[in-house]
Amino acid sequence: MNEPALRVATICTGNICRSPMAEVMLKHLIADDQSLTGRVDVTSAGIANWHVGNEMDPRARGALDRAGYSRRGTPGAYASSEYLNGQDFVTVMTREHLHEVRRRLSNPEVKVILWRHLIDPQNDLDVADPYYGGDDDFDQCLAMLRSGSERLTTMLRSRLDERSSGA
């Protein structure tokens, strides 16, 4: 019997910095977790269509490489209503992204999460955009993404357990 699969999207503005870094990092974490491997598909997209088809910013790739995350991310994509409605979880980097994703969604089953809520659920804080910064800003952004990833993978395991048990 095939295990149920979950689709997870990480969303930022242009899909060349924060969301592809989160995507690659999550792919590594999922590959290292037998309860998630082969059961969770992670992609990324942007709320703007500026960089569709482009690879991630080289500084983002550099931050991932320095941290030991060698997997490839998907080419830049646009977070259309169709794309978003096909996800199980959508993680967003800012309150603006949260508002825009909710505006585009019509599938009430999709769980939308502000990334910083994974770290501090009491505060509506954004993950800062490193685009106008240097390597240190990209490294700090990746560290912020990493800090919420354990809670997210725990949520994914719980959802898979619910689906497997028929709950």
Q: Show which residues are catalytic.
A: 12, 18, 129
The four Cα atoms 49, 50, 54, 58 give a dihedral, to 10 degrees, of -130
Residue 62, CA atoms < 13 Å, CB-side half-sphere: 12
Q: What is the DSSP string of 67-79?
A: HT--PPPPPP-B-
**Coil, strand or helix: which one is 129?**
coil
Rounded to whole angstroms, how far apart are CA atoms 159 and 5? 10
Rounded to whole angstroms, how far apart are CA atoms 158 and 164? 10
